[in-house]
Structure 1
Amino acid sequence: MKDNIKRLAIVIAATLVAVGGFTLLSHGDDDHHDAHAGHSQAEDEHHDEEQDFKNIPLTAKQIATIDLKTDSVQHRELDATIRVNGSIVLRPQSMGNVASLMGGVVKNILVKNGQHVTKGQVVATIENTDVVTLQREYYAAYKECEMAQIEKQRQETLAQQGAGVQKNRQQAERNYQVAHATMIGIGRQLQQMGISTHAVGRGQFTTTFPLRAPISGTVCQLNAPLGSYADMQTPLMTIRNNDQVECDLNVFEKDLQKVNKGDRVLLALTNQPGIEVSGQVYGINDYFNDGTKSVAVHVKLDGNAKARLIDGMFVTGRIATGRQRCKALPSKAIVNTEGKTYIFALDKKGKNGDCVFSRHEVTTGVTDSGYTEVELCKHIQDGQQIVTENVFYLASLIGEHGEHNH
């Protein structure tokens, strides 16, 4: 604890010394400020990346205390990316309505909004006495099929013994086939309603039938209270499987040719800072979105996403369109202030270790694996050392802390 307090005191003292030195240097260098004021109007008229702060001094002790580190600009291969916006979407295949195939009164609702259900789970029951008529028809068809099968087998036995008549055997075969088809047809209707044909075949009839979940997912939009009438057109509830959400990104016409199926995608959720989700492009529309010059690019999300994704969430994304070799710096070496990006360069280093730095505006490009593409201004010489660690300290000396790239 004492070491930490001592270190903090040294940093504070060093900062005060640097600010004082910087102030004296700024006031003492009148020629520099006069010259700067003299051509400021020309700079406003033709603004390029510039060296806008010179002579920022740090002593060797300050540099050691804050562990300031420098490195030269590197040439690296980075993923070229396109920045896009979009939203999380749930396809129709991942949504299901629970509706009755026959009208009736809602007798039971066995689930609640927000509850997770599995495919085939009974979620409600419907009561309708008319369903007994269908069961009675099945029962009659079942018994008729039994009798037709017995007669068919009897005729086959007689034919094997040479005592049967071919015409009678053929008639018995046809009667069985018709009876069996009738039983199967009625049985399919009962099965669609969730009624057991085995129970009906034993004479066990019911006036209620269950409604089952068509997919696994979360229950939402319960529409019918107990005792209400459920018809075939109005779903009782909707089930949504948010584990199957995807993403649609809007790519503008100028970037469309750069995007291909299989491109990797990294998404950031606007309502969940710090959480990123990855995915892959699997489809590209061949028509423009309504009212825009953008085309929807469909993204399949990786299954290991830990974020809670819901249909309609807005996202910002980057589509990786290939590798490119470029000048790059560690992203933490770049400071964002008022919509501009800056780096700090080492101008002079004295024999005693004291250094002088300057701030330079740069243009940034793609970011990949902690490095960002930079387009340096004319004031940066090849091989010149750039501050790559604890750059916020230099930013604080000129009163602009800014934000670091990540």
Structure 2
Amino acid sequence: MPRLIHDRITWLTYAQLGVWGFFLYGFGPVVPLLRDEQGTSAAVASLHSTSVALGALIGGYLFPLLTRRFDRGPVLWCSLAGIAVGAIGLTTLRPLPATLAAVVVAATFGTMVVCGVNTVLADHHRSAAPAAISEANAACAGLGVLAPLVIGLAVSAGIGWRPALAVEVALIALVALAAVTFRVRLPQAASAAAAAETGSRRLPRAYWLAWALMSVTGSIEICLSLWGADVLRTHAGLSRGAASAALAAIVGGMFLGRLVGGRIALRVAPVPLLLGALSVSLLGFTLFWAFPVGWIAVAGLMIMGLGNAMHYPLGISIALAAAKGQADRAAGYSSYAMAVGSGIAPVVLGWVADGVGPHLAFLLLPVFIAVSALLALRLGRILRPRVSATPPPTPAPV
């Protein structure tokens, strides 16, 4: 069984991904509040999600190019500074074009942080990479769970969401200070010559199936993040502040799911574990959608978070393992999958919600879960022959 060692490099990457999680999971509850401030429709407000998608495309394109030129460490630290710039822009600017631009900046650099952390952990932990990536995303959700709570409390207290989201800048400064204090340096990637050689190879079919899987599961998460509060307000009867704060339930579920899932990933193959996670997501969605009672809906969100927790860590782990020797390139391309999910699904859901209401529009989510399960089954069939074709170990001589 693989063993996961928690050294200083591991803890630093967890913290780097965690501060991005605070912004990402705080951004979701902010979108309905921005819609109210700017007087736009749900479809127009969902353009902020499209800005995340645009930033993901830009970040995914730039990441492999920049890491070949400057290596992963400098790229990661510059990306964290870029997130701070985007957060400052979003919390100080008010017109719709300005907030959209600020989100593009934050998402561009946030995507490069995600790519950098995933590739560092994949190279650093090898066979234990799925567990390490799961725990890193647990750190992301762990800090992320605080954001909806802080924003909901700030809105309820009458000071607005902007000061709460501005905490992101202080968190980034703290991570940088900790790295300097404890003298932690991120390991270098493969040489430029090796990267150029592997970059000319085609990525295998298993990688592209994992890519498609991440785009669909990403659609589930972003739709919940952006429009889950609206369903809680219109169907479960929660106030604006309470609905924003209640989204912490799904992030809390993801935090717990990734902590536990990281341990399970050391013992269970990725595809069966992913199918189990999708089943838990479907159960949570049923409770969230079917019952117009606040506490039951919030409990459904937490259960859905437990299932959603392992969608991305398992998807990216499979993708990086399938792209042997091309980790930076594969990680960059994987951000395109997330861009497809965050750029299309929430806009479609917002457009449907403008016509039939957010509650009925959310029936798109079980469709996404079903498609994800079909992709996972197909991926399992492709990967299984590789496992069965592996020759058994030669017995040691007596």
TM-score of the aligned structures, taking structure 1 as reference length: 0.17
Query: Relative to total residues, which structure has the larger strand share, 1 or 2?
Result: 1
Q: Which has the larger radius of gyration?
A: 1
TM-score of the aligned structures, taking structure 2 as reference length: 0.18
